[in-house]
Structure 1
């Protein structure tokens, strides 16, 4: 069975004409081989005002065309639509405490630590704000053949800075945050997010580990000639997440643009779903969306990033905006002052990770969208 079919909402029917300049940015990027295809959408003042797509799954002429309902690997956008959202829910329920120490939840993080390492001071707040001192990345998958071995290696990872000393975006921090959420929720992260977030919001395409029968309908992210030695299609691209079984705190969620927009709509409505039911408390949404004051110079909120010039969000998103990028070429930006959200999904890593053109495309695309909204 293919992924759920998406009907373009009536409110977005005129979107192609209104957002023609934004579409032109995407079409030019496809012509320059920034990515073979893309889908995107715009939420404004409670409505979906654009939902569109261009290009193909790959650069071959007979490759399937990308549609508004095409499901993509969200990569690190997982950090906000799943892991951060799960942390917000558990915070609301009084189960997750931001200043709880990670070592109290995952004792393996501090057992056998070097004296003076500071690991005993790492909190969940620091993981969310990327200020734990953990390194940004490690190729754990190359040395550990099982999820258990991967987790042990991550727990034993030494800090590169004292907790709270600096901001360094860390996949490893969110990997451990996902494991802490499993302990606190009493459930697997993927199952908890599906039951408590995706299903209540009616996000039918959003899930970890999409069914195998969906794979032909999902654009491939990479022709992996190094580790898996095959085309990666319909399974998570991130190697550490793949070695953990395809679901982790830092990556693994797939979805189409409409479902990512509906999640953003819930955030813009300060926790209320499109069905009118509250998912998060309004004060929790505001708390997690507030830029942290420490470490000095950080751009991070709790789980989210915020604009710092030059930003992938372009020139017009307000200082109160929050967003996140995904390595495979995905992004979500939300501006509460404008009541707007913009999602862009691509597979910019096809056939390999060499192209950096997405760095120029994102701000130009977002500028064109906001200019269309304000005309």
Structure 2
């Protein structure tokens, strides 16, 4: 059988580069064949250019189910934390509406109790607020008001700044701060200040009914909602919070996320999509992007976090999601549903990988092997050309 190669020709001056993406395709397809996820969208960017884009698989494991296209929407889960909540904080920070070292209780007075008085906005962004990682809200509460009351009155488990604990509570609070300071909802703020300027027309919370058919299915929820989830946020806390939360709830496509990550990689610059890309504009100042995407220093513990964003983690019992070959000057984030966005600032590489690995149930964690293998192969491919 003749082996087929997919070649993309890129012109840089008088030079032409040929890339063979067959190994990358093989890695992504292996996740489907091993039933780590039914489908995936992949985009690779290099030097601000989109050099590879592909959709793999079907919406479910049924070979007769709909084939995935580039227009299908994925539940981003915790990628919401950076694309929505953190970016919204960046906007307010640049506008002088938020001080990162101000107490969170200054913006949310009802939060300032039970030992949380000294938690700052920066602590929330760095996940060293002292709050616990997670609360199974769906087991105890039914309404948004009940969940917010529980968060406002919770007691911390550590002192602020003493220890890193990745917490959904931090991101939920950041979203609430955005709403309180801006006087509008998080979803409306993000559309107006981030998504619309960048032309991200397929990025939003709570997909409307006609968009739900384009959403890939996530989990068959048999323990709480008792239905197959499709076009409805997978995260239980975000669900009780009416689908709009700083920790989860955003739906998007790989193409929209590439436009967002390209803006971040370009230090806040983007080409206005409403002028056919002829007008270069700025969403964020360069120093703001650097501040939020660079590993925070001067902490009392080993840290790999930036403000809201993750950077290249230290090796541990799990493999590094962005791969061992990504440089130390990278930033990104993963999502529980099987999503991830990463940018290597040194090599000017962007990788967007969206999957629905929680279909039909959340137990399969094979994506933890696919992600590093994929990112390592991308670095190898681009480094050798």
Q: State the TM bucket, normalised to the shorter chain.
A: over 0.9
Runs (4+) of structure 1 exceeding 3 A deviation are 9-12, 14-17
Contact 1:16/1:23, CA 8 A, preserved across alignment: no
Contact 1:15/1:49, CA 8 A, preserved across alignment: no
CA change 1:66–1:198 in 2 (3 A) is same
Which one has the bigger strand percentage?
A: 2
Q: Which residue of 2 aligns with 1:315?
A: 324
Choose from 290, 298, 302 the match for 1:297: 302
Classify the secondary structure of the residue corresponding to 1:214.
helix
Choose from 354, 358, 369 the match for 2:363: 354
- Whole-Å Cα distance in 2 between the matches of residues 354 and 250 of structure 1? 21
- Whole-Å Cα distance in 2 between the matches of residues 92 and 144 of structure 1? 36
Q: Which residue of 1 aligns with 2:341?
A: 332
Choose from 270, 285, 305 the match for 2:289: 285
Q: Which residue of 1 aligns with 2:104?
A: 102
- Whole-Å Cα distance in 1 between the matches of residues 302 and 17 of structure 2? 38
How far the C-alpha of 1:16 sits from its partner, in A, is: 11
Contact 2:58/2:65, CA 8 A, preserved across alignment: yes
User: Aligned-pair RMSD on alpha carbons?
Assistant: 1.8
What's the TM-score once normalised by structure 2's chain length? 0.91
- Whole-Å Cα distance in 1 between the matches of residues 68 and 211 of structure 2? 14
Contact 1:16/1:52, CA 8 A, preserved across alignment: no
How far the C-alpha of 1:365 sits from its partner, in A, is: 0.8
Contact 1:71/1:254, CA 8 A, preserved across alignment: yes
How far the C-alpha of 1:290 sits from its partner, in A, is: 1.5
- Please list, as runs of the form range in 1=range in 2, the aligned pairs for 1:1-375 lying within 5 A after superposition: 18-111=20-113, 113=114, 117=115, 119-275=116-272, 276-293=280-297, 294-308=299-313, 309=315, 310-375=319-384
Contact 1:131/1:295, CA 8 A, preserved across alignment: no
Per-residue CA deviations over 1:141-177 (Å, capped at 9, x if unaligned) read: 2222211111111111211111101001010111011
Per-residue CA deviations over 1:70-95 (Å, capped at 9, x if unaligned) read: 21001100011111111111111111
- Whole-Å Cα distance in 1 between the matches of residues 254 and 64 of structure 2? 23
Gaps of 5+ in 1: 1-8
- Whole-Å Cα distance in 1 between the matches of residues 374 and 65 of structure 2? 24
CA change 1:15–1:343 in 2 (3 A) is farther
How far the C-alpha of 1:296 sits from its partner, in A, is: 1.2
How far the C-alpha of 1:69 sits from its partner, in A, is: 2.6
- Whole-Å Cα distance in 1 between the matches of residues 320 and 366 of structure 2? 15
- Whole-Å Cα distance in 2 between the matches of residues 42 and 262 of structure 1? 12
Contact 2:86/2:174, CA 8 A, preserved across alignment: no
How far the C-alpha of 1:68 sits from its partner, in A, is: 2.4
Gaps of 5+ in 2: 1-7, 273-279
Contact 1:130/1:173, CA 8 A, preserved across alignment: yes
Classify the secondary structure of the residue corresponding to 2:301.
coil
How far the C-alpha of 1:363 sits from its partner, in A, is: 0.2
The 10-residue stretch of structure 1 (205-214 or 14-23) with the greater mean CA deviation from structure 2 = 14-23
